[in-house]
Structure 1
Amino acid sequence: MPSFHALAALVVTIAMFIGFARGKMPIEIISLLTIAVIAVGLYFFPLPGHQPTDGLQLAFSGFGHYALITICALMILGRGLVVTGALDPAARFLERVFRMNLQLGLLVSLVITFVLSMFVNNTPVLVLMLPIFAALASRGALPSSKTLIPLNAASLLGGVSTTIGTSTNILVVSIAADLGMREIGVFDFTPIVLLAALVALPYVWLVMPRLLGDNRTKDLKEARRFEARLRIREESELVGMDLEELIAKLPKDVRFHGTKEGKLKAQQRLLVTGTHDGLEDAMRILKGEAAPIWVLDRIRRTADETREDILVVEMTVTADSRLINRTLPGSGIADHYQVAVLGIHHPPRVLGQYEGEGPGGDHRITEGDVLLVMGLEDDLRKFSSSDSLLVLEGMREVPRRSKAVLAGAIMGGAVITAAIGLFPIAIASLAGAILMFVTGCVKFDRVGRALSAQVIVLVAASIALGRVIDDSGAADWLGQTLSLGLVHLAPAAVLAAVMIFVTFLTNFASNATAATVGTPIAFSIANQLGLPAEPLVLAVLFGCNLCYATPIAYQTNMLIMSEGNYQFGDYVRTGVPLVLIMVVTLSIALVVSYGI
């Protein structure tokens, strides 16, 4: 029979699993309750040889654990790539593939993630892909809730393919070598995993997205279309281009209004209409500006000097505004305030006047018009209060593109140093996060936008629970019980049972616990049953990486949780079938490969 503490640890684990699965309470509340139960239980009923205060330290140790620090640092690194626009080129490439075909785009992304994870730790690989897919979702590709769990699964499949794919693989191989087994080579078991991946990837690609919901908010209103004057710079490649060529380059969301003859000239102003996102794409593609260039240069110069973010916000003209009946050039906005109006959305009654060929001049501003305004936060506030404008929702930061290369270099340095083993991922990611702050790629006062409180308390709770399972002897008891029931089973069934046991441990405790407990158990079972030790050790290694079924199983599972707006049930529903597919295929492949 298990000890009292081991039994209690199993009860708490099952209770937390049931609480997550039911979904009646928020995940962060269940996580905090789990920590509280562990703290109170170990205070009044300490582990043998421990003091009551040791239990408190164990319960709250997750908040200072290197795994939590690593996850937070990786979130900050990902935030730096987003706010600087460093991943825009990669996002645009994948966007073109997704536009060709959504399923093809997802397949290409899964294969890229799988291959990269074979040679680079899958955590930084997923960190690189996460903001790209968030950007793709905002651009109209598949919603992030339908792509991030499959993407995570592909990274985990790639990570199990080589001994350097994850730190857990290295741990299992090292423990096995200490127990007397030959050291497994980097690619010794890669063919086995590739065979299993050929069976699993179709499920990940075609079935998983269908089992996941759509986390996009439904916009019941048609997106506002803004009228803007696109100014051509002197150095623009558009100078001398025919208007017909220009129209072909415009995003689908943007329409040109005016004559379609002649060649473009420097400083020429083109009347275009489009949504906020469409205008941003048009300015990027055509290398033009939607406001006077001297105003934009002044805003950017001030932002660099004050180290503030440039914001774009929508403002409605009220009945008391002095702007009514003025045109935009005659409003004096650029002279009175350090802001730039990028475009104007007119009510439908006015918008209809220039649909088609478009007017020759500027419209007068009327009550109800919406201005798309760019500037610094204090300047925007002063403009709205002085000219009686109502600030609407939807404020967004302008990417700090001047720091895009720097942010990419910081992320690349963190990934490469962790991949070649120069630094552990915890140190590399933390150093990268600090550099993001020091260089201004991420503002320290905005760090809360990069972190998720739900993920933080969930990680802390899972670490505490994993330690209780290990320290109480619950994991050892489970292993001993397992070995008693395998005597009369076929080799494939023995391998599958070991793999399932380790998978259970890794999904509810930790990969390190599963590797530490499972590897000696596999050696013991091999000796008792007269089987070669290597396939059983590989069954442990594979089982440590089959962490798809719960969000607490692996740090990347928790990393995608907030971005995909996932619930505990999403992991169970999509992960359990994948675990079963991998267990069956890997067990059969091991039996065939080792001839047992």
Structure 2
Amino acid sequence: MVLAGVPTAPLVVFALIGVALGLFVSEVIPNDVTAIGIVVALAALEPWTGVDARAAISGFANAATVTIVAMYMLSAGIQRTGLVQRLGVHLARLTRGSETRALAATVGTTGPIAGVINNTPVVAVFIPMITDLARETGISPSKLLLPLSYAAILGGTLTLVGTSTNLLASEFAATLLDRGPIGMFEFTALGAVVLVVGLAYLMTVGRWLTPARIPADADLVEEFELGDFLAELAVAPDSSLVDHPIEGLDDRTAAAVTPLQVRRDGETFLAAGTDQRFRAGDVVVVNGPRTAVNRVRRRFGLRRVGPDGISEESFTGGDSSHRLGKAVVPESSKFRGETLSESRLEAFHGMTVLAIRRGSDLIRTDLESVPLEAGDLLLVQTTPESVEYFAEGDDLLVIPEDPLDRLEEGAGTAAPLSSETPVAVAIMVAVVGLAALDALPIVIAALGGVFAMVVTGCLSSADAYDAVSWNVVFLLAGVIPLGLAMEATGGAALLAEALVATGAVLPIVAVLFLCYLVTGLLANVITPVATVVLMIPIAVDAAARLDASGFTFLLAVTFASATSFMTPVGYQTNLMVYGPGGYEFTDFLRVGGPLQLLLSVVTTLGIVALWGI
């Protein structure tokens, strides 16, 4: 059966891809759930897709998928040593007071580290330190956080284990081309050029284009523009609140006004979860719109303390057990899609959300009914116990006040932070070395490294499993069979013909450049993982028809997929800095667009120079 000259089978696969892309872009359902749906659809439509049940789930057994799981675990083992945190402390000591040194240290450190350690936890560790460093240096954190993310992305091009797309490309190289997997450092020379060019851009043109969205000297109350939403109210002796439960105030005001803290005789305690009752003379810090606060004040016989509102310093009251902080919702968070009332952050963790920054938008009212999204920045009233709890997982990235000061207090002067530190580093070096020397396949070397870290006590089995971003793993396993379906039905060949048609009017190097541009644009809209799976079969097929090097075209797709700068959703680290930097969507286009175009030229020419065409 054919339709307009195109067989039915590839049309069915194209339809599945179209639906998948729509779901990836809209995120109506999480991307990993979409990937599971792809697996089911491919197997259910086997007569047209050519993918049976075994092939549909083959992504879970793919060497790239297993290697990525192992690398997440190995990265966690290195992360637990505290070496990255200590490096941040030393950099802060060297760069405080200089914007240029702070920017150079940020990008110059993050890039190389991200070449061998998963860049997501690296950025997670650096965000609070960079934010505090910006405040100490007197510059806007927005000027450093976007370069932090971009440097981490650039560093992923240095080695085979730098990004998941590199590992996927290695598997494609082994199956689609007449060669083995890509070597650990096979494209490091080009990656180093890309990194140097990218860092030079960030230090010059990018520095000028990056906006200062967050004021340099703003405290948290000013940063979230809460001056009109926070108030101190004193409980008069004749107030109707006297002897009533503190925790019940927001119920009596239909949650329009939320009590945050109560100060009594020099003592400060959280309103959330307390069994205390109001007493005459209590000073209550409340959060809510000014009109609602005034209604509550008149209704319950309260009086406003001070005419000018409160700042971050007065809000915390000097009590170290209650503090303001910020928390980022990562892509892996279980709170994604839940409203604050459903998340029970206040009830279970004593963490009260005062405002939500979503990009450049601020949400300060009706917070309980707002579904949380990846990249949201929450202004929270929290406790040291909550900060410590969330530091152990990946549901919230909590950014407390003065993280550098706290790290410096515990950093000391000893070289290793624990007895396991040199062991963990040695294991990581051994994994990289064995893979680089082709003594073991990368997947076996990585799994061996995980085994060694667990049995030596560098990493517990529970921490190893917790370190894995399982949503990324399911996404990988779900989209890999799409590449199989594209090949099996001839869909890749059909799309390759369209790319080859440009070869009639363009030289091959221009076709390679066009392939890079299309891949890069696609990776900014959907995930880089999905992009590399869809584009590599097309690029390799087109290269064969053009009598060009398939490996050259594969590398173009690999580098283009791994360097997504133009949107906050193009790469996970972009999303992580989106809220803390207060960026607008267009900021990524303005700063990342020229960088992506520059690297498309540099990378294309570099591939041709190093591998030919």
Alpha carbons 2:564, 2:596 under 8 Å: kept: no
Q: Which residue number in structure 2 is paired with residue 354 of structure 1?
A: none
Alpha carbons 1:549, 1:571 under 8 Å: kept: no
Matched, 1:436 2:473: no
Q: Which residue number in structure 2 is paired with residue 75 of structure 1?
A: 72
Counterparts in 2 of 1:149 and 1:464: CA distance versus 1, 3 Å = farther
Matched, 1:458 2:475: yes
For residue 150 of structure 1, report the CA deviation from its aligned partner: 0.6
Q: Which residue number in structure 1 is paired with residue 561 of structure 2?
A: 547
CA distance in 1, matches of 2:174, 2:66: 25
Matched, 1:133 2:119: no
Q: Which residue number in structure 2 is paired with residue 21 of structure 1?
A: 25
Unaligned runs of 5+ in 1: 223-313, 321-367, 374-389, 527-532, 552-556
Counterparts in 2 of 1:197 and 1:448: CA distance versus 1, 3 Å = closer
Q: Which residue number in structure 1 is paired with residue 11 of structure 2?
A: 7
Amino acid at match of 1:35: I
Partner SS for 2:440: coil
Within 5 A, what are the aligned runs for 1:200-349? 200-204=198-202, 207=206, 210=210, 219-220=220-221
CA distance in 2, matches of 1:479, 1:464: 19
For residue 508 of structure 1, report the CA deviation from its aligned partner: 6.1
Q: Deviations over 1:153-193 (max 9, x none)?
A: 32245459x9xx966787898899959xxx99x99995x87
Unaligned runs of 5+ in 2: 135-140, 224-267, 277-316, 323-381, 392-409, 411-415
For residue 83 of structure 1, report the CA deviation from its aligned partner: 3.4
CA distance in 2, matches of 1:73, 1:5: 36
CA distance in 1, matches of 2:476, 2:213: 24
Alpha carbons 1:31, 1:458 under 8 Å: kept: yes
Alpha carbons 1:549, 1:575 under 8 Å: kept: no
CA distance in 1, matches of 2:530, 2:168: 13
CA distance in 2, matches of 1:66, 1:188: 20
Partner SS for 1:87: helix
Counterparts in 2 of 1:561 and 1:413: CA distance versus 1, 3 Å = farther
Matched, 1:40 2:41: yes
Amino acid at match of 2:33: L
For residue 41 of structure 1, report the CA deviation from its aligned partner: 5.0
Q: Deviations over 1:493-529 (max 9, x none)?
A: 3332344466578846464775565345324314xxx
Partner SS for 1:421: coil
Partner SS for 2:504: coil
Q: Which residue number in structure 1 is paired with residue 92 of structure 2?
A: 95
Partner SS for 2:546: helix
Amino acid at match of 2:434: T
Alpha carbons 1:503, 1:547 under 8 Å: kept: yes
Counterparts in 2 of 1:523 and 1:155: CA distance versus 1, 3 Å = same
Partner SS for 2:561: coil
Amino acid at match of 1:396: E
Within 5 A, what are the aligned runs for 1:94-113? 94-111=91-108
Counterparts in 2 of 1:545 and 1:488: CA distance versus 1, 3 Å = same
Q: Deviations over 1:6-33 (max 9, x none)?
A: 233333333333333345x35x2x4313
Q: Which residue number in structure 1 is paired with residue 386 of structure 2?
A: 394
Counterparts in 2 of 1:212 and 1:473: CA distance versus 1, 3 Å = farther
Within 5 A, what are the aligned runs for 1:151-170? 151-159=151-159
Counterparts in 2 of 1:498 and 1:565: CA distance versus 1, 3 Å = closer
Counterparts in 2 of 1:138 and 1:204: CA distance versus 1, 3 Å = closer
Aligned residue pairs, count: 416
Q: Which residue number in structure 1 is paired with residue 150 of structure 2?
A: 150
Counterparts in 2 of 1:156 and 1:140: CA distance versus 1, 3 Å = same
Amino acid at match of 1:541: L
For residue 409 of structure 1, report the CA deviation from its aligned partner: 3.0
Counterparts in 2 of 1:540 and 1:95: CA distance versus 1, 3 Å = same
Q: Which residue number in structure 1 is paired with residue 497 of structure 2?
A: 480
Counterparts in 2 of 1:455 and 1:124: CA distance versus 1, 3 Å = same
Counterparts in 2 of 1:87 and 1:201: CA distance versus 1, 3 Å = closer
Counterparts in 2 of 1:61 and 1:102: CA distance versus 1, 3 Å = farther
Counterparts in 2 of 1:176 and 1:442: CA distance versus 1, 3 Å = closer
Alpha carbons 1:500, 1:583 under 8 Å: kept: yes
Alpha carbons 1:113, 1:155 under 8 Å: kept: yes
CA distance in 2, matches of 1:391, 1:96: 27
Q: 2:512 aligns with which of 488, 495, 508?
A: 495
For residue 462 of structure 1, report the CA deviation from its aligned partner: 3.0
CA distance in 1, matches of 2:174, 2:470: 35
Amino acid at match of 2:388: R
CA distance in 2, matches of 1:100, 1:218: 18
Q: Which has the larger radius of gyration?
A: 1
CA distance in 1, matches of 2:576, 2:18: 26
CA distance in 1, matches of 2:459, 2:93: 28
For residue 116 of structure 1, report the CA deviation from its aligned partner: 7.4
Q: Deviations over 1:520-543 (max 9, x none)?
A: 5324314xxxxxx46x85354233
CA distance in 2, matches of 1:31, 1:188: 29
Q: What RMSD, in angstroms, separates the aligned Cα atoms of the two structures?
A: 5.6
Q: Which residue number in structure 2 is paired with residue 364 of structure 1?
A: none
CA distance in 2, matches of 1:495, 1:504: 14
Q: Deviations over 1:315-348 (max 9, x none)?
A: 989999xxxxxxxxxxxxxxxxxxxxxxxxxxxx
Matched, 1:524 2:523: no
Amino acid at match of 1:46: P
